[in-house]
Amino acid sequence: MSTDHDAAGLKASILVEALPYIRRFAGKIVVVKYGGNALAGTSEHDALSLFAEDIVLMRLVGMRPVVVHGGGPQISDLMKRLGKETEFVDGLRVTDAETVDIARMVLKGQVNPQIVAAINVHGHYAVGVSGVDGGLIRATARDERLGFVGDVTEINPEVIHGLLDDEFVPVIATIGSDINGQAYNINADTVAGAIAESLGAEKLVYLTDIEGLRRDVADAASLIRQTTADELDQLVADGIIAGGMIPKVASCIHAVRNGVGNAHILDGRIAHVLLLEIFTDSGIGTMIKGLHGTTGLQGDDA
Amino acid sequence: MSTDHDAAGLKASILVEALPYIRRFAGKIVVVKYGGNALAGTSEHDALSLFAEDIVLMRLVGMRPVVVHGGGPQISDLMKRLGKETEFVDGLRVTDAETVDIARMVLKGQVNPQIVAAINVHGHYAVGVSGVDGGLIRATARDERLGFVGDVTEINPEVIHGLLDDEFVPVIATIGSDINGQAYNINADTVAGAIAESLGAEKLVYLTDIEGLRRDVADAASLIRQTTADELDQLVADGIIAGGMIPKVASCIHAVRNGVGNAHILDGRIAHVLLLEIFTDSGIGTMIKGLHGTTGLQGDDA
Amino acid sequence: MSTDHDAAGLKASILVEALPYIRRFAGKIVVVKYGGNALAGTSEHDALSLFAEDIVLMRLVGMRPVVVHGGGPQISDLMKRLGKETEFVDGLRVTDAETVDIARMVLKGQVNPQIVAAINVHGHYAVGVSGVDGGLIRATARDERLGFVGDVTEINPEVIHGLLDDEFVPVIATIGSDINGQAYNINADTVAGAIAESLGAEKLVYLTDIEGLRRDVADAASLIRQTTADELDQLVADGIIAGGMIPKVASCIHAVRNGVGNAHILDGRIAHVLLLEIFTDSGIGTMIKGLHGTTGLQGDDA
Amino acid sequence: MSTDHDAAGLKASILVEALPYIRRFAGKIVVVKYGGNALAGTSEHDALSLFAEDIVLMRLVGMRPVVVHGGGPQISDLMKRLGKETEFVDGLRVTDAETVDIARMVLKGQVNPQIVAAINVHGHYAVGVSGVDGGLIRATARDERLGFVGDVTEINPEVIHGLLDDEFVPVIATIGSDINGQAYNINADTVAGAIAESLGAEKLVYLTDIEGLRRDVADAASLIRQTTADELDQLVADGIIAGGMIPKVASCIHAVRNGVGNAHILDGRIAHVLLLEIFTDSGIGTMIKGLHGTTGLQGDDA
Amino acid sequence: MSTDHDAAGLKASILVEALPYIRRFAGKIVVVKYGGNALAGTSEHDALSLFAEDIVLMRLVGMRPVVVHGGGPQISDLMKRLGKETEFVDGLRVTDAETVDIARMVLKGQVNPQIVAAINVHGHYAVGVSGVDGGLIRATARDERLGFVGDVTEINPEVIHGLLDDEFVPVIATIGSDINGQAYNINADTVAGAIAESLGAEKLVYLTDIEGLRRDVADAASLIRQTTADELDQLVADGIIAGGMIPKVASCIHAVRNGVGNAHILDGRIAHVLLLEIFTDSGIGTMIKGLHGTTGLQGDDA
Amino acid sequence: MSTDHDAAGLKASILVEALPYIRRFAGKIVVVKYGGNALAGTSEHDALSLFAEDIVLMRLVGMRPVVVHGGGPQISDLMKRLGKETEFVDGLRVTDAETVDIARMVLKGQVNPQIVAAINVHGHYAVGVSGVDGGLIRATARDERLGFVGDVTEINPEVIHGLLDDEFVPVIATIGSDINGQAYNINADTVAGAIAESLGAEKLVYLTDIEGLRRDVADAASLIRQTTADELDQLVADGIIAGGMIPKVASCIHAVRNGVGNAHILDGRIAHVLLLEIFTDSGIGTMIKGLHGTTGLQGDDA
């Protein structure tokens, strides 16, 4: 019986620890960028199920999660199956009309409904949209030679606000369109930041396959628990942050300087990493503090 | 100048003719089934543009259109490109797991955003969803041997109501899912009817590539302008209505017997056929009168 | 059959032309000054019926029309029947107590209900009020020697807002009252402008018996299609605009400088001139452009 | 000082007496028929001012008064001034087209704005409408030989509800119209009852020039303080109630049998008779008790 | 009968006199400080009943009264019964932990429910709260040596707004608490002023056992009917206002300088003194005029 | 680091376990009877703090807890301090006027604000009321010889609904009043049941100092985990449930037969017992299943 009591006490203490966070984040919007690479630590299906549970829990306790996803590997896979070669111009990958159609099919027609379905196993929560729906993401060509690779020119978040007001979880495929209805493929990391800004999100979260940012790439002990946009500017300038992390980090910097509470780089390989970040005192991964954000570490500034 | 006056008078008379219909249908839901075959009379792009204009006009004058679409030819096309063979069991076409994934990709990722984009050239009107979103279409296997061919078991129209309340035009891809999130391909004609019933629609419209139903298939003069569910039952029993028209006609019959105002079989090859049906005294195509429906022919029973 | 198709095509094209205007003016308030002289080109009854149809159509497609009317000829008529002589002081017409009572009777008790009744043949749309109702028009004597000729000192548009919110069409007789309840007769052209300003109307429309303003009174070809408040100031200063047009033009100038979108001088003798101005690309009559108004001519600045 | 105290005590006691009535009638609709004859005991202007004060007080303490008025003497007066003879058919007075136009002018254009203005001296309270406005009173000819004497066929109280919801006091001129917009003159006593029923009024009050109903016309001591519809049926059958009181009494009987709380026949010659009836324990005049009405006499059944 | 008529006329005139005040104060918040000493002129029970009637009447005619009370004599009484001695430090009365518990018991558990019950004899109107409820009154120790004597640091009026929105009459016991939940006893006069300011009250009323403020304490004829914050500053500086009136007068001064309409010092010994102050032209007691307040004397500035 | 991972996994699993319960109970009302005896297992202050944390957590995750409390021991204590003897009539304890005043002081003035203060350490959550406030508990004498011991005759839950709608936690002291404002002391167990019924609560929870109900009082192993109203009727009839448990059990039986979801007898000595009952699969104590209640044991019937 004392074991029972101990277990009960532990359960109770964890619930009590979560309490101030539930209060703090009630009604707050959290934009989560979910990428294929975040799933590396476990089988894809299980990772998606765990992620879906986290999203549902966040929504159930009154938060308003928004999921943004890309799907690079899946696009490459379908292109390969269709025997479609990628063209290059001056060494840069070109997204021709057929490629952007394939990207749209994969993102909106394959990855998006998989995420929606995984969430909706728990109820009628998620609704998948792309940037074409309700004019959500207005885009323009980045460089004509690259074809239909787009930059975001405008976010029209009415459709997202409508879904959130109806208590749905929007799941967003990062296809945008120009004024003529032409589709563009857009970097999902960048879209996540732009969406978070347009919604005035409390948190912008990138699920990745790294533990977090490091001050010394070679030294696991140099993991950055908490930092600022200014420090990140320096780390980028110094070349410490590089490669595929650049769009994420640039979006984090821009977001926290434009009204988003905090930004987070989390390790998507840890089960329920979203819950652990949000509902526990210790936090996890790397947090970039915004001007108005609340800190996940101390948990006492409500 | 008299020509100017004549033109002005004609314009005015047409606007005045449309007047009672605008009053009559304000706030009413019209479910339009849009199929690839409806586009046959003209180039596909133009047909889609004209259709999109009609939908936008209906919405602008206060109606609440809902678009339901399939995409059979496009699915076949991608399957062919992927070298995917269709299996048969006892002579019936099987939708295996790969096929339903392809169908989902095409419907949600290709056809749906094309329609959405065509409408959204005019503004931020349309939002595309599939039956997976918000649990809209719950399905179950029709016959296990056929794989993932689904029958509708339940429509959860909350997501559609939410979009309509936010003044969006829902565009619905007819993929459903079961309770475990497994996708099913569902006949789009049937889904259109089920959606219309669940929304209590004023009209259910099928855009086809025929002029309308005929009492004698071989006789163009036998076009049915207006009929009832009972008469259609008889025409089906007599084998006069057959083949691909069966799901449409069966849905029309079921719908008008379950609260839908009227159902219509229209010729999608006629430019602006929706506007002509709705806003002119003469109507067009075949109308199946419901118990509570208003008649497009006389136009004076408001 | 080709004739049928042509007619259908023409109908469709006119409906499609009207589309962007319906979008543009949805929910917008349009104040229409309706005067006896506007009816000259046809029998009075028909002209009123056509006008009523236009008002109902505007209301049905979501606009919020407000009708302001005078009734000078009808007042003169009743005065004659009652053997009431008009007095003059220094050559100016005097409105004594009996005269203002007669004016009130005619405007509120004869002209106003005629307009209301003509509109309400189409439904329960119109509600007639005068400036006394809900304290709508507060007036003061213009010149004590002229008796009860009033100037507007204050518009209290609550009653109009209430009626518009309840989806009624307000029809306003231009009798005002002072703080003691004394009635005053007020120039209807002036009231229309003041009402339009107080409501922040999108359009202020004067229905007259001329084709529009001209730069050279003698030259029909000098019709002004579009102009500005500044140019009108000059035309008045130059004496080109004079006589009975002065109150209308002065009200137009004041209105577009005080928040009203555009003002229009239209030829009330043209059947359905309101519909033609609002719903067609070519516009009609003279438009005075406001700072924030949309232009009827190009139709492409939505 | 003791006089001061006494006066204060008296004031206080009267305010306190009024208390339960204010509670009881908060939000309740009271339809008051106001007729020319009610003004006999004092100068017309003063009587109207006192009446207006009562209506404003009722509104200020949260009741929702509705005024219905006729204007027979004023119509006769204008007809005389216009030299218009009344025709008779089989001894019955005929309302020809000209007569109904005169009646409309007088009721809507003279009497109605006088009442509105008297109330609006106290604020922007009253709004005058006729039965034509918002289709309020739908009428049909009583007898073709009598011309445009109408019977009520339908009350459409939306415009009255709208005005009450906007906290206005509707003042209703008893002109109705048929479906073609033709005006009819309707007995104001009858309209008052029909309006009260359609609004589910708490009270229907007739202001008259008699002290109340009597059981013996010749005996002032036989004044009826409180009665029922059944007793009134008997008094009418016995010929004790006759002449001009018939439409009032018939309307009272019909009203209390169709949902109106109580009906009252009051002496309009007593200053502030409405206040005294409503806000004092002793009541005044004759009350016809309805099934659900509260009694003015005991004042303790809240 | 003439006597009847005279009585009716008097009743009517008093009701009519009250009219503009009901209009003026509709929806306005009036904070009334009710103290034991105000009850001196009559038996306690009767005084409370009369006070309760006034509060209910104010509420019934659409005002929003808020009652604030202390209970010094009742606290002293219970302390005596419990044999609790009052401690003094440097001549100042100390509120130790036991004393503040006693004060809380008496104020919240005895005086508050008595007032609530007296009001609720008339209906479900009053709800009693203390400064602990909803965090209404946040307090801090005035002087550590005095124990739990508190100063107001913050008013959180949400609970009061909620009760007012639900049409209840809040009755407030002046116990506050610090951030740890420790109770403090707070001067009720001061709390009344702070509550009035936080609510933006139209009136702050102190019911006392004096006729009003005097310019010469010894001269009843020097009663101040109307004054300003500036004059009161002077009277306090001159020592003319002193003793127990200081907290009341200081609160009045602070309140009218911080948005409260007017403040009043009334003689609670006069029956229905609240009604007489609010609903009669002559006013009563001393009024301190605020910047935006309406004057009770002239009654004509609505 | 594996310990870290284990701890993270455990935290995550507990959060995930709580998920379906948060969904299930969102917006649901839970009435908790909190009694002095429930605090026995630990120091009073700590028990109250833990209880307050549970209430706040329930509220934060969207439930609507309502606390009902008595305070027998505290009443006895004050009576002793005041030297007040308890009278007996025929062996029954009499609540004379002085006693009910003491009970009111203690319940409303001592116990109630202690609970409120403990909750409000976490925010402005709790508002304390008694049955007198807003006429919440209407009572009548149970037996005249017993004095002011009351039975509930009516619950008027408007004040509770108002507080819940404003997102407060009502804390209710179980003093009622009759129509004359006379206070009555009422059994808190009974009040809790009546309140739960009037609110249509999802759960009625009694915190006690026993582990739960037993089928054999002497056998700890006979603890009843789940039962029905019918079985409890039998256990009472058999004398197995007796003494102080009778009012609790009778209230549970009545409540689940009158619309309350489930009732629970919990061991208030276990820290965070409310959280453990509500948010874990295993449940705790004894549950009495209602007709529409959800079961705490299986946790899978959402």
Which of D36, D128, D150, D299 is flagged as catalytic?
D36
Q: Looking at the partner chain, which of D22, D56, D280 has a beta carbon nearest the beta carbon of E60?
A: D22
Residues of chain B contacting residue C18, judged by C-beta atoms under 8 Å apart: 15
- C-alpha F27/C-alpha F24 separation (Å) is 9
Q: What is residue C222's predicted lDDT score, i.e. its pLDDT?
A: 92
Note whether residue C132 is domain-resident: yes
CB-based contact F240:F21 (threshold 8 Å): no
For chain F, what is the largest distance between any 2 Cα atoms, rounded to a whole number of angstroms?
Answer: 72
* B203-208 and B175-177 beta bridge pairing: unpaired
Phi, psi of D177 (to 5 degrees): -145, 155
Question: Is E252 a residue whose pLDDT tops 90?
Answer: yes
Q: Chain A interface, mutation test: which of B69, B132, B174, most A Cβ atoms within 10 Å?
A: B132
The answer to whether E126 contacts F134, with C-beta atoms less than 8 Å apart, is yes
Which among D110, D134, D166 has the least Cβ separation from residue C124? D134
Spatial separation of the C-alpha atoms in residues C279 and C15, rounded to whole Å: 9
Is C180 within any annotated ligand binding site?
no
What rounded mean pLDDT belongs to chain C? Answer: 87
Which is more confidently placed, D283 or E166? E166
* pLDDT of res. E3: 56
Q: Where are the beta strands (DSSP E) in C50-149?
A: 64-69, 87-89, 92-94, 126-130, 137-141
In a domain, D161, yes or no: yes
**Average pLDDT, integer, range D218-230:** 92
What is the three-class DSSP state of B17?
helix
From the list D5, D11, D19, the residue facing E57 with the nearest CB is: D19
The pLDDT of residue F43 is 53
Token readout for F285 is 């104590």
Instruction: Give yes or no: residues E99 and E216 share one domain.
Output: no
Quick one: DSSP state of residue E84? P
Looking at residue A72, its pLDDT comes to: 86
pLDDT at F294 over 70: no
- Best mutation target, D10, D61, D223, to test chain E (most E CBs within 10 A): D61
CA angle in degrees (0–180, nearest 5) for F204-F206-F208: 170
d(CA F168, CA F56): 10
The phi and psi torsions of F175 (rounded to 5 degrees) equal -105, 130
B183 CA: distance to closest CA in chain C (Å): 38
Q: How many independent structural domains does chain E possess?
A: 2
| Partners of B140 in the β-ladder | B151
Tell me how many degrees the CA angle E184-E185-E190 measures, rounded to the nearest 5: 115
Quick check: is C271 in a domain?
A: yes
User: Is C112 marked as a binding-site residue?
Assistant: no
Asked whether the predicted pLDDT for residue C98 surpasses 60, the reply is yes
CB atoms within 10 A of CB A237: 9
* Residue E8 counted as domain residue: no
pLDDT of res. C3? 56
Closest CA to C36 of C57, C51, C56, C19: C51
Amino acid identity, residue B245?
A: M
**Cα torsion at C140, C145, C148, C153 (round to 10°)?**
-10
Range with the poorest average pLDDT among C103-117, D270-284, F157-171: D270-284
Give the list of residues 6+ apart from residue C43 with CB closer than 8 angstroms, or none. Answer: none
Give the distance between the most distant pair of CA atoms in chain C. 72
User: What mean pLDDT is predicted for residues D86-95?
Assistant: 80
Which pair of tokens denotes residue D288? 């016809």
- Report which DSSP code applies to B82: T
Instruction: Answer yes or no: do E11 and D276 touch at CB < 8 A.
Output: yes
Distance CA F222, CA F214 (A): 5
Please count the residues of chain A: 302
What is the structure's pLDDT at A24? 83
Q: Is E80 a catalytic residue?
A: no
Residue D298 has pLDDT above 60, yes or no: no
Question: pLDDT value at position F183?
Answer: 94
**D180 CA: distance to closest CA in chain E (Å):** 43
Which of these is catalytic: F36, F150, F176, F293?
Answer: F36
What distance lies between CA E154 and its chain's CA centroid? 19
Residue E44 pLDDT > 90: no
Separation between Cα atoms, residue A97 and residue A75, nearest integer Å? 14
Residue D156 lies in a domain: yes
Q: Is A19–F60 a contact, with Cβ atoms under 8 angstroms apart?
A: yes
Q: How much is the pLDDT for A43?
A: 53
Residue type for position C71: G
DSSP structural state of residue C26: T
Q: Which residue of C has its CA nearest to D177?
A: C117
Chain F: residue nearest A63 by CA?
Answer: F61
Residues C244-270, mean pLDDT to the nearest whole number: 93
As averages over each run of 10 residues, the pLDDT of chain A (302 residues) reads 65 80 87 71 69 91 93 90 85 87 95 94 94 96 91 96 96 94 93 97 94 89 93 93 88 96 92 88 86 49 32
Quickly count: other Cβ atoms within 10 Å of residue D90's Cβ: 8
Which residues in chain E touch residue F158, judged by CB atoms under 8 angstroms apart?
124, 166
Tens digit of pLDDT for each residue in F212-245?
999 888 898 999 999 999 999 999 999 999 887 8
Contacts of B298 (CB under 8 A, 6+ apart): B281
F51/F34 Cα distance (integer angstroms)? 9
Residue C14 is predicted with a pLDDT of 84
User: For residues B247 and B206, what is the distance between their CA atoms, to the nearest angstrom?
Assistant: 11
List the single residue in E11, E16, E60 with the smallest CB-CB distance to D19: E60
pLDDT tens per residue, range F97-136:
999 999 999 999 999 999 999 999 988 999 999 999 999 9
Strands E29-34 and D286-289, sheet pairing: unpaired
Q: How confident is the model at residue C62 (pLDDT cuts 50, 70, 90)?
A: confident
Annotated active-site residue F216? The verdict is no
| Contact call for residues A275 and F22 (beta carbons, < 8 A) | no
How far the first Cα of chain F sits from its last, in Å, is 37
* Cross-chain residue pair D134–C126, CB shorter than 8 Å: yes
Mean pLDDT for the stretch of residues C45-72: 90
Q: Which of D113, D118, D181 sits opposite C104 (nearest CB)?
A: D113
Which residues, in sequence order, are bridge partners of residue D77?
none
Closest partner residue to F12 among A9, A56, A275, by Cβ?
A275
D117–C183 CB contact, under 8 Å:
yes
Residue E220 pLDDT exceeds 50: yes
Count of all residues that appear for chain C in the document: 302
Contacts of B12 in chain C (CB under 8 A): 271-272, 275-276
F36 catalytic? Reply is yes
Compute the distance between CA of residue D217 and CA of residue D232 in angstroms, rounded to an integer. 14
**pLDDT of residue D37 exceeding 60:** no
- Give the residue-averaged pLDDT of D228-252: 92
Which of chain A's residues have a Cβ under 8 Å away from the Cβ of B183?
A: 113, 117
Chain D positions touching E279 (Cβ under 8 A) are 11, 15
What b/e sequence results for E60-94 when a residue is b if at least 16 CB atoms lie within 10 Å of its CB, and e otherwise? bbbbbbbbbbbbbebbeebbeeeeeeeeeeeeeeb
* A37 phi/psi in degrees, rounded to 5: -70, -20
B54 to B47, B275, E288: CA distances (angstroms): 11, 6, 68
Q: Is F28 a catalytic residue?
A: no
CA pair distance F267, F273, nearest whole angstrom: 7
Annotated ligand binding at F123? The verdict is no
**At residue B184, what are phi and psi to the nearest 5 degrees?**
-130, 145
Q: Are residues A12 and F276, on separate chains, in Cβ contact within 8 Å? A: yes
> Average pLDDT for residues E101-117, to the nearest whole number?
95
Of A10, A12, A60, the CB nearest to F19: A60
Exposure on the CB side of residue F85, measured as CA atoms within 13 A: 2
C205 vs F86 pLDDT, higher one: C205
pLDDT tens by residue, D107-132: 999 999 999 999 999 889 999 999 99
ipTM score: 0.89
Q: Provide the pLDDT for residue B288.
A: 95
Q: How far is CA C26 from the centre of its chain?
A: 19
- Can chain F be said to touch chain E, i.e. do they have 3 or more Cβ pairs within 8 angstroms? yes
Strands (E), C59-112: 64-69, 87-89, 92-94
Strand E169-173 versus strand E64-69 pairing type: parallel
Contact present, C225 and C267 (Cβ < 8 Å): no
The pLDDT of residue C35? 81
pLDDT (average), residues E265-270 = 90
Q: Is D71 annotated as a binding residue?
A: yes
In a domain, F48, yes or no: yes
- Write out the H or E segment, with its range, that includes residue C205: strand C203-208
CB contact under 8 A, A15 and F279: yes
Closest-approach residue (CA) in chain A for B100: A110
- Within a 10 A sphere around the Cβ of C209, how many other Cβ atoms? 15
End-to-end CA distance of chain E: 37
pLDDT at F301: 33
Chain D residues with beta carbon closer than 8 angstroms to that of E18: 15
For residue A262, the SS3 value is strand
* Chain F residue whose CA is closest to E164: F162
DSSP F11: H
Higher pLDDT, E128 or A143: E128
Give domain status of residue E210, yes or no.
yes
pTM (two decimals): 0.77
Q: How far is E302 from chain D (nearest CA, A)?
A: 10
Contacts of C237 (CB under 8 A, 6+ apart): none
* Chain E residues with beta carbon closer than 8 angstroms to that of D275: 11-12, 15-16
Contact at 8 Å (CB) between F280 and F244? no
Task: Read off the pLDDT of residues B50-65 as tens digits, 9 standing for 90 and up.
Answer: 899 999 989 988 899 9
pLDDT value at residue E9: 80
E4 pLDDT band, cuts 50/70/90, is low
Do E180 and E216 fall within a single domain?
A: no
Residue that is written with structure tokens 């990207």 in the block = A103
Catalytic residue annotation of A: 33, 36, 72, 189, 248
Chains that touch B (3 or more CB pairs under 8 A): A, C
Q: Which of the given ranges, D63-67, D145-149, E71-75, has the highest pLDDT on average?
A: D63-67
Catalytic residue among E35, E36, E212, E268: E36
- Which token pair is E195? 């509550």
The Cβ of residue D240 has, within 10 Å, a number of other Cβ atoms equal to: 16
Say if D5 falls within a structural domain: no
Domain containing residue E230:
200-302
Taking phi over 0 as left and psi of -120 to 50 as alpha, with beta for the rest, D266 belongs to beta
CATH assignment of the domain containing D170:
3.40.1160.10
Beta-bridge mates of residue E262: E203, E289
- Listed as ranges, residues in chain B with pLDDT below 70 are 1-5, 19, 36-45, 292-302
Instruction: Take residue F152 and report the two structure tokens written for it.
Output: 């509930």
